Amino acid sequence: MTKIAFLFPGQGSQKIGMGKDLFDQEAVSKAVFEEADNTLGFDLSSMIFEGDAEELTLTFNAQPALLTTSIAILKKFEESGIKADYAAGHSLGEYTALVAAGALSFKDAVYAVRKRGELMNEAVPAGEGAMAAILGLDKAALEEVTKEVTESGHLVELANLNCPGQIVISGTAKGVELASEKAKEKGAKRAIALEVSGPFHSALMKPAAEKFTDVLSKLDIADAKTPVISNVTANIVTSRDEIETKLIEQLYSPVRFEESVERLIDLGVTTFIEIGPGKVLSGLVKKVNRRLTTISVSDQETIEAAIQTLKGDS
């Protein structure tokens, strides 16, 4: 029997108009957007469907927007009876995975990620930090680069270990700029600035993590019904206490996505379904192992095609 993992994207995958067709056509999905609006006390749905792209990119908007859209898509899978054996997410996507796994209610999760975004922005206001994807340089060489730049007074660290040949760095805007230049000098093929508003998964996020502890302590976190792969360790987490601890550590720790995919392969997963806008995670999975089956679902058409395919395989 085919083992399935649901994957949920993080910041950078957001786009204006995502989920609009589901809102218009699917009652179960529309209810998700309406619950987000009611929980947050403002019209997040309008921002997602017809807002300003720059405003949507701000971390305290992008996080609840992506979570909401991905859960609206997930609801269609739940309606069809298709379940995952495992769940995982990239950074913010880990919260979506925890909702899918029954460890967090959607209401608690959308509240938490809005607060998470506000605290992250407060720790390092938009424009002062940055992230960049470095392509074609191995981990050891890039670690040398970030160490050298940090020692010069401009903090930069490895933030996302995405797949072979792709590692994201994070830190001060100047640190990321300098490290990007040095990485190319050492042989990196490209350095691509990311569409995010802060230096996520770096030590600059520790002040946010300290304050976020209070936010998580007020939530009703449960044991996960479906095993979730933690960004911080690339290991399975199911207990509520460990989930809470890892969510705090995740703010300033690297996202071990390549290792997470490898762990899921070891667990027998052969089909990875990316639930949310874009195809970023599907592309990363293929770079880890091209023989794996990946399916990206972001709208009514792709959801229906995926459900038909999966039911045919079962």
> For the residues 273-277, what does the mean pLDDT come to?
97
Are 166 and 247 in a shared domain?
A: no
> Running DSSP on this structure, what letter comes out for residue 255?
B
Q: At what angle do helices 206-217 and 240-250 cross, to 10 degrees?
A: 150
- The residue with greater pLDDT, 34 or 198, is 34
Over residues 13-50, the pLDDT tens digits come to 999 999 999 999 999 999 999 999 999 999 999 999 99
Distance CA 26, CA 267 (A): 34
Tokens 């609206």 belong to: 72
Confidence at residue 238, expressed as pLDDT on a 0 to 100 scale: 96
Are 133 and 112 in a shared domain?
A: no
Distance CA 161, CA 139 (A): 8
Distance CA 183, CA 149 (A): 11
> Running DSSP on this structure, what letter comes out for residue 17?
T
Q: What is the DSSP string of 137-194?
A: --HHHHHHHHHHHHHTT--EEEEEEEETTEEEEEEEHHHHHHHHHHHHHTT-SEEEE-
Are 267 and 135 in a shared domain?
A: no
CATH number at residue 216: 3.40.366.10
Q: Is 91 among the residues known to form the active site?
A: yes
State the pLDDT confidence band at 125, using cuts at 50, 70 and 90: confident
Domain count, the chain: 2
Are 49 and 185 in a shared domain?
A: no
CB within 8 Å of 299: residues ≥ 6 apart: 19, 21, 22
How confident is the prediction for the chain on average, in pLDDT?
95
Strand pairing report for 190-193 and 228-229: unpaired
- The residue with greater pLDDT, 157 or 122, is 157
Neighbours of 195 (CB within 10 A): 15
Are 109 and 138 in a shared domain?
A: no
Q: Is 230 among the residues known to form the active site?
A: no
Distance CA 153, CA 158 (A): 16
> For the residues 303-309, what does the mean pLDDT come to?
92
pTM of the model: 0.94
> Running DSSP on this structure, what letter comes out for residue 101?
T
Confidence at residue 183, expressed as pLDDT on a 0 to 100 scale: 98
State the pLDDT confidence band at 135, using cuts at 50, 70 and 90: very high
Are 107 and 253 in a shared domain?
A: yes
Are 7 and 75 in a shared domain?
A: yes
- Residue 314 pLDDT more than 60? no
Over residues 57-114, the pLDDT tens digits come to 888 999 999 999 999 999 999 999 999 999 999 999 999 999 999 999 999 999 999 9
State the pLDDT confidence band at 313, using cuts at 50, 70 and 90: low
CATH number at residue 176: 3.30.70.250
Domain hosting 172: range is 129-196
Are 154 and 116 in a shared domain?
A: no
Distance CA 13, CA 29 (A): 19
> For the residues 112-140, what does the mean pLDDT come to?
92
- Of the residues 29, 70, 91, 282, only one is catalytic, namely 91
- Percent of the chain at pLDDT > 70 equals 99
Range with lowest mean pLDDT among 7-11, 193-197, 290-294: 193-197
Among 158, 174, 196, give the residue marking a domain's end: 196
- Residue 230 pLDDT more than 70? yes
Among 155, 170, 196, give the residue marking a domain's end: 196
Confidence at residue 273, expressed as pLDDT on a 0 to 100 scale: 97
What order do you get walking across the sheet with 129-135 strand by strand?
Answer: 156-163, 166-172, 129-135, 190-193
- Of the residues 29, 201, 253, 296, only one is catalytic, namely 201
234: left (phi over 0), alpha (psi -120 to 50) or beta: left
- Percent of the chain at pLDDT > 90 equals 91
